[in-house]
Structure 1
Amino acid sequence: MRYFSTKPKPKMKPIELKMPPEQTQTITRVIFDIVKEHGPLTVTQTWDRVKEVGLRGLTGKSHMKVVLRWMRERQKLRLVCNHVGPHKQFLF
């Protein structure tokens, strides 16, 4: 009975990045190369790799999460479920 009383999750509108297209392209290319080279990564592992590279366009970890979600919408990345722990991993 409870199942029928819950409302479905509302659809989210597409993400629009507020950066110039050139900066968006360089950021997405660096993140894509990191994920491609190092295999499935969690958000924390990806953030650590981005800090090692020294990418200037990202303001913080939450900004990187928004970019990752945008890349998922554009089907450049795929989210893989890791059954070992509670973390999700990104895969190109």
Structure 2
Amino acid sequence: MKPIELSMPPEQTETITRVIFNIVKEHGPLTIAETWERVKEVGLGGLTGKSHMKIVLRCMRERQKLRLICNHVGPHKQFLYTSWFTKSNNI
């Protein structure tokens, strides 16, 4: 697969990726649906919809800004996005 190229201006791409990264860092690990709900709460402009956000998430994963983990419970799999360094809830 070839790398994903976002067709937005660099400033807009930087703003969107920074907001998504902060959401995942603060509230992660999150599923795509949970991430979309958080993005709607913030009111992030520039994203045309959930599918556009999924493309941005995949691009961020390719550039190693986020990672995808699998939560395997019995026969069910759940894929979660997380930042490389998440906030510890144990403190």
Shared fold, TM over 0.5: yes
Report % sequence identity: 77
What's the secondary structure of 1:86's corresponding residue? strand
Report matched runs for 1:34-73 at 5 Å: 34-73=23-62
After the TM superposition, list the runs of 4 or more consecutive aligned residues in structure 1 that deviate by more than 4 angstroms: none
**Which structure's residues are more often strand, by fraction?**
2
- The offset of 1:87, in angstroms, is 2.2
| 1:11-34 deviation line (CA, Å, top 9, x unaligned) | x10000000000000000000000
Give the corresponding residue for 2:14.
25
User: What SS is found at the alignment partner of 1:14?
Assistant: coil
Q: Which runs of 5+ in 2 are unaligned?
A: 84-91
Q: Which of 81-90 and 67-76 deviates more?
A: 81-90
**Within 2, Cα distance between the matches of 1:18 and 1:67?**
11
**TM-score for the superposition, normalised by structure 1:** 0.85
Task: Give the alignment's Cα RMSD to 1 decimal.
Answer: 0.7
- Number of residues of Structure 1 aligned to a counterpart in Structure 2: 81
Within the candidate set 78, 81, 86, 1:87 is matched to 78
Once the 2 structures are TM-superposed, how far is the Cα of residue 86 of structure 1 from its aligned partner? 2.7
In the superposition, the TM-score normalised over structure 2's length comes to 0.86
